[in-house]
Amino acid sequence: MRVKLDLEKTPVFNTTIEVTISDINYGGHMGNDRFLTLMQEARLRWLQSMGFKNEKDIDKTVGLIVVDAAIQFKAEVFHGERLSVSLAIDELSGKGFDLYYVVVKEDDKLAAIGKTGILCYDYIDRKVVQIPDGLQQQIKKD
């Protein structure tokens, strides 16, 4: 069974990321593993746009942790291309949410669709916790 992701989400953030030579695999195109890194970079930029330092610094000891990920590949991506990455939020619950990523090439061709399941995690107590108020308020603004 193939992964199917829904594109019908309203974006809350958009960024542009250039493909570097380290993103390219032996096939001459962007490696599938690099899409996870691309998604992480977009997620970090989204968090920083809301005033958070990084994924591990959301509220005192609480950060974010990725609990699942899925990617649908739609087109090859090559060195030097600039990709537009849009993020959308869905399935907001008390402890986490899903982030959807739509990756589009400069020629408007869809390159990939991705999803990560995100939970809030206390890195001191090593357990899943409620979404901190500061992040909850930022998400609800979007």
Question: pLDDT tens, 1-57?
Answer: 777 777 778 899 999 999 999 999 999 999 999 999 999 999 999 999 999 999 999
Q: Which CATH number fits domain 11-141: 3.100.10.10, 3.20.20.70, 3.10.129.10, 1.20.58.1690?
A: 3.10.129.10
Is the Cα dihedral 118, 6, 19, 24 positive or negative?
positive
Percentage of the residues of the chain whose pLDDT score is greater than 70: 99
Domain ranges of the chain: 11-141
Q: Is the pTM of this model over 0.75?
A: yes
Asked whether the beta carbons of 119 and 96 are under 8 A apart, the reply is yes
Name the residue among 100, 104, 101 with its Cα closest to residue 81. Answer: 104
Residue 38 in tokens: 């691309």
